Amino acid sequence: MSSENLLRRLEEIVGPQWIRTEADALATFGKDWTSVYPAAPLAVVLPRTVEQVQQIVRLANEQDFALVPSGGRTGLSGGAVAANGELVLAFDRMNKILGFDPTDR
């Protein structure tokens, strides 16, 4: 599947406003605090729901492309760096606490 077709499929899942391909977004979301590896992701996708994440993961499995999860981008090990054209799956929009168990904290 071409990058263009992949981005179109992702737009169908999350909406076009939640796909980032601008150079500054790729640089920001494609790396963590290590700054050792250059960021070079294909795109950044910002899902809102668990269902959207599931659809994106299924698409990645079907089309055999790599995903790099992105939370706070504060890691220091390089584990969340998209340096080889991966798709960054950024969880910035998933910002609601749905439940809390005081025993388990």
- Rounded to an integer, the average pLDDT of 63-89 is 78
Percent over 70 (pLDDT), the chain: 91
Residue identified by tokens 């790396």 is 31
> Residue 73, class by beta-carbon neighbours within 10 Å (0-12 exposed, 13-18 middle, 19+ buried)?
middle
Q: What is the pLDDT of residue 79?
A: 60
Distance between CA 52 and CA 37 in Å, rounded?
A: 29
* 30 burial type by CB count under 10 A (0-12 exposed, 13-18 middle, 19+ buried): buried
Give me the CATH topology for the region 3-90.
3.30.43
Q: What ranges do the domains of the chain cover? A: 3-90
**Helices marked H in the chain:** 3-14, 23-29, 50-63
pTM for this model (two decimals): 0.84
The pLDDT assigned to 60 comes to 94
Mean per-residue pLDDT, 38-60: 94
